[in-house]
Amino acid sequence: MTYTKTPLTLAIREAVALTWNVTGEGERLYGGEESAAYRLDGHVVRVGPAWRGAAESEWCHAIAGHAAARLPEAVAPLPAADGATVVVVEGRPISCWPYVEGSWPDSDLPGQRVAGARLLARLHEALAGCRPGPRPVPAFQESGLYGDPPQDAPELADPELDRWLAAFHAAHPVRHPLHGDYYTGNTLARDGALVAVLDWDETFVGAPEVELAAAALEWGDDEIGPSKEFVAAYHEAGGTAGPLDEEALAQLVRHKLRREYAYFHKAVRSGVEHDADDLDYHRVRVELFHRLRP
């Protein structure tokens, strides 16, 4: 996986010191395809991409704050003196977060997979009463979600999937904020327990079943499809999503895979050079999109 190399410049460090009274050279933390994260003492400074506006980041941060007030594992950004959570430096949105000690969980371990499902259920419960205004910019995952054929993935055109998505959402009116990118790389574990949910850049308002299916794929117990164990553990923990039959789980996963395809080619157009592992992963995911067709 290719991670961004955005530096923590002197201008950014000066702005962080002025805004949050946080200083230091900064240690680059592992991960981040779009935003780079640096540890400064007991804080994390996130340097976002130049194309992401402050209003979009503030909207996402407000939802993180709502979750953090109700869920200890949800990590929210620190406000500045004026209440804002973003400053723009050199055209990039900069935010400051508390540092949480931990490492990425291993979804191959059944106990951590179940813990991930239970945490997602609690997260959805925490967000169920949140009623934000419209997202300033639609999230990437929203394209094609309601049956409109996505224009950025013509090679995976599937009118049957589009019609199914439109019908599914007409029959599932429950909507509330979702994390938007709930996978192991956006959570942290310590001493066998999940202790943090991070990175709220992709949050959006949608049907919780959409995120449950996507998470079941990401936390899956094999490489050929979503984890039914994850779905069952989520429902046992009282998550807000309704039941998912075989077809619903497959079709919602296929929506996610089609968005992954679009993101891969968006990255290529922006100049990202994928290595052999990235290309193989992309091929497998495209094959899975076709294989899961009901």
Distance between CA atoms of residues 165 and 156, nearest Å: 15
Rounded distance between C-alpha atoms, residue 123 and residue 75, angstroms: 11
Mean pLDDT, rounded, for 190-201 = 97
Q: Give the chain's largest Cα–Cα span.
A: 55
**158-170 mean pLDDT:** 98
Q: Which two tokens stand for residue 64?
A: 């993180």
Q: Specify the higher pLDDT residue, 267 or 221.
A: 267
Q: Which runs of E-coded beta strand occur in the chain? A: 27-28, 36-40, 43-47, 87-89, 92-98, 176-178, 187-190, 193-197, 204-206
- Quote the pLDDT of residue 243: 96
CA distances for 268 relative to 134, 262, 271, 273, angstroms: 30, 10, 5, 7
* pLDDT per position as a tens digit, 8-53: 999 999 999 999 999 999 999 998 889 999 999 899 999 999 999 9
Give the number of other CB atoms < 10 A from CB of residue 270.
9
- Reading the block at residue 102, the tokens are 């931990």
Chain Cα centroid distance, residue 292: 22
Residue 223 confidence (pLDDT) above 70? no
- Residue 224 pLDDT: 63
Q: Residue 206: pLDDT above 70?
A: yes
Q: What is the pLDDT of residue 197?
A: 98
d(Cα 97, Cα 187) in Å, to the nearest integer?
14
| Cα separation, 258 vs 289, whole angstroms | 7
Mean pLDDT of 65-92: 98
pLDDT band at residue 115 using 50, 70 and 90 as cut-offs: very high
CB 117 within 8 A of CB 111: no
Closest C-alpha to 216, from 206, 230, 203, 202: 230
Instruction: Judge whether residue 134 has pLDDT over 80.
Output: yes
Q: What percent of the chain has pLDDT over 70?
A: 98
Give pLDDT, residue 3: 84
Q: List pLDDT tens digits, range 267-279.
A: 999 888 899 999 9
Considering the chain, what is the average pLDDT of its residues?
95
Q: What does pTM read for this prediction? A: 0.96
